[in-house]
Amino acid sequence: MYLSENKVKYIFHHLWQHVRIHNLEPHSIIIVNDCKEIPPYLENKIIFIQSSQAHPEPFEIIFHGKKIPILFGTKDPNGEIYHFDTKGNLIFRHDLLSSAFYLLSGQQEIEVEQKDQHGRFPFELSIQKKLNFVHLPVVNYYFEIITEGLETFAQNHNKKIDRLRLFDSFAFFLSHDVDRIAFHHPFYVLYRLKQFLGLSPSNLSKSKIINLFFQGLGYNLNPFKKEDPWWNFGKLINLEKKLGIRSTYFFLKREDGFKNSLYHYKNKKIKSLISTLKKEGFEVGLHGTYRSAEDGQNLSFQKQEFETATGTKSIGIRQHYLRFSHPHTFKLQSNAGLIYDTSLAFAEHDGYRNGYCLPFHPYDFETDQMMQIWEIPLVMMEVSVLNYRQASFEELKQAVNHYIQEARKFGGLFSLLWHNCRINDIETPGISEFYTKLLESIIEEKPQSLRGMDIYKRASTFEQRPPSDIFKLI
Ligand SMILES: [Zn+2]
């Protein structure tokens, strides 16, 4: 895949946030298409060979003992990843630039037309699933390979080179999508009755359903009732404050029947919750409704409504159901004035949808250029692990440990979405205790606990553009 000049620029832009070589002469980096020979006049250059393959033809290489899939390039996995020729040129033989572009820009999502029932890019059809690497931030590995090559080049040519890390250790970004706030809402109580009568579908036993129905009925009739199990914000806030966590809460408005929430932004309870969260130092943002991923007017209207009702500007968004049309949804979000999105994970599997464990800019394929909006990739949503994958608490914990190790390796982030309505012992016995212990164990790893807005601010202050004449395509 021969990348356009802007696409190469996009990759170097992101690479530049990891490594910077000083005093490089203009056009020190040369991109050569594999249909040509490397011109004999090139000396002391950094050369990347671009593969002519139109689609990925993956193979594996071993890098520091780890198997890393390369998507485009010369099919000689035993050959060196890079080498120096007699003229002082550093030559990368595999097409790491196209491989990185394919994943980071989300190009695979443009190529696959099939979507799941919610209009989402299905994990089943992803290259991550096919090659079993969703658990690896492979773009970070590609950048690491390039960085090592550049370090040797800098040493050979007496150039100063800096390695950079966005976070000293790693960042932990915890967030909550506030989809549902009343477990015993009369709508659900009635729904359970319908389930018991066989009028609505259910995967619970009849006795469990009728038990829940009576609990709900009792709850609604009790004048001295305790807090609803889904109105657990006091507990969440206290736990996070105790552990020094500052998280982000995304609020979803009522719209289109029951596809979204059962509350409005202007509800007294919601307004008061939002003001408490803000006072306590948490971030509040927009949880875009089901329809908003495809409907720009709807999204802009929602943002205005949120801001008018709560007096808070929302700079970040997560789309409900992780619905996302890539890169169309990014454009709608940008137009609505949003600064970052944090929806990009596969709904059905935790891991790295864009192969990257740091904030990044998406790519606009229509205008062939990098977009300004930021994506803070979502690494794990609890529903993906516990429901879609049907994994146990212990497996979830192991996966978290793994993602933390990857984040630490690259000064990146581990982001975790946990719905408030999934911390309910009536539905999932033992989950409150597990969740508490999980957060404690994450904090023991000494991350920087940051809200989405802090991550965006850090990434944008840290960001530098590479010199515009750094590379040349020949
Ligand atoms: Zn949601």
Q: Rounded to the nearest whole angstrom, what is the distance from the C-alpha of residue 400 to the centroid of ligand 1?
A: 21
pLDDT at 75 (0 to 100): 60
Task: Indicate the SS3 state at residue 94.
Answer: strand
DSSP code for 181: -
pLDDT at 216 (0 to 100): 87
Domain spanning 171-462, CATH architecture: Alpha-Beta Barrel (3.20)
The amino acid that residue 351 corresponds to is: G
Q: First CA to last CA across the chain, in angstroms?
A: 15
The 10s digit of each residue's pLDDT in 321-344 is: 999 998 999 999 999 999 999 999
Q: Rounded to the nearest whole angstrom, what is the distance from the C-alpha of residue 129 to the centroid of ligand 1?
A: 24
Q: Pick from 236, 220, 237: which is nearest to 228 by CA? A: 220
Q: Rounded to the nearest whole angstrom, what is the distance from the C-alpha of residue 225 to the centroid of ligand 1?
A: 27
Give the mean model confidence (pLDDT) for residues 194-214.
Answer: 88
72 with 56: CB under 8 angstroms?
yes
pLDDT at 224 (0 to 100): 81
Six token digits for residue 412: 């990146």
Q: Rounded to the nearest whole angstrom, what is the distance from the C-alpha of residue 232 to the centroid of ligand 1?
A: 17
Q: Residue 452: is its pLDDT beyond 80?
A: yes
* Chain length of the chain: 474
pLDDT at 77 (0 to 100): 58
pLDDT at 76 (0 to 100): 61
In a 10 Å sphere around its CB, with 0-12 CB exposed, 13-18 middle and 19+ buried, how is residue 10 labelled?
buried
Beta 59-63 vs 283-288: how paired, if at all?
unpaired
Q: Rounded to the nearest whole angstrom, what is the distance from the C-alpha of residue 87 to the centroid of ligand 1?
A: 57
Q: Residue 380: is its pLDDT beyond 90?
A: yes
Q: Rounded to the nearest whole angstrom, what is the distance from the C-alpha of residue 319 to the centroid of ligand 1?
A: 7
CA 379/CA 25 separation, integer angstroms: 38
Q: Rounded to the nearest whole angstrom, what is the distance from the C-alpha of residue 274 to the centroid of ligand 1?
A: 17
Any bridge partners for residue 202, and if so which? none
Report the percent of the chain where pLDDT is more than 90.
Answer: 81
- Of these ranges, 23-27, 179-183, 286-290, the one predicted with the greatest mean pLDDT is 286-290
Q: Residue 425: is its pLDDT beyond 70?
A: yes
pLDDT at 78 (0 to 100): 61
Q: Is the dihedral of CA 267, 381, 56, 6 positive or negative?
A: positive
Q: Rounded to the nearest whole angstrom, what is the distance from the C-alpha of residue 247 to the centroid of ligand 1?
A: 16
pLDDT at 185 (0 to 100): 87
In a 10 Å sphere around its CB, with 0-12 CB exposed, 13-18 middle and 19+ buried, how is residue 234 labelled?
exposed
The 10s digit of each residue's pLDDT in 37-95 is: 899 999 999 999 999 999 999 999 999 999 999 999 876 656 788 999 999 999 998 99
Q: Rounded to the nearest whole angstrom, what is the distance from the C-alpha of residue 180 to the centroid of ligand 1?
A: 8
Cα separation values, 68 from 49, 78, 134, 166, Å? 19, 13, 11, 23
Cα separation values, 110 from 106, 114, 428, Å? 7, 10, 38
347-374 as b/e: b if 16+ CB within 10 A:
bbbbbbbbbbbbbbbbbbeeeeebbebb
Band (pLDDT 50/70/90 cuts) for residue 470 is very high
Give the mean model confidence (pLDDT) for residues 116-132.
Answer: 95
Lowest mean pLDDT among 41-55, 98-112, 202-216, 415-429: 202-216
DSSP code for 199: S
Q: Rounded to the nearest whole angstrom, what is the distance from the C-alpha of residue 91 to the centroid of ligand 1?
A: 47
Domain ranges of the chain: 5-165+465-473, 171-462
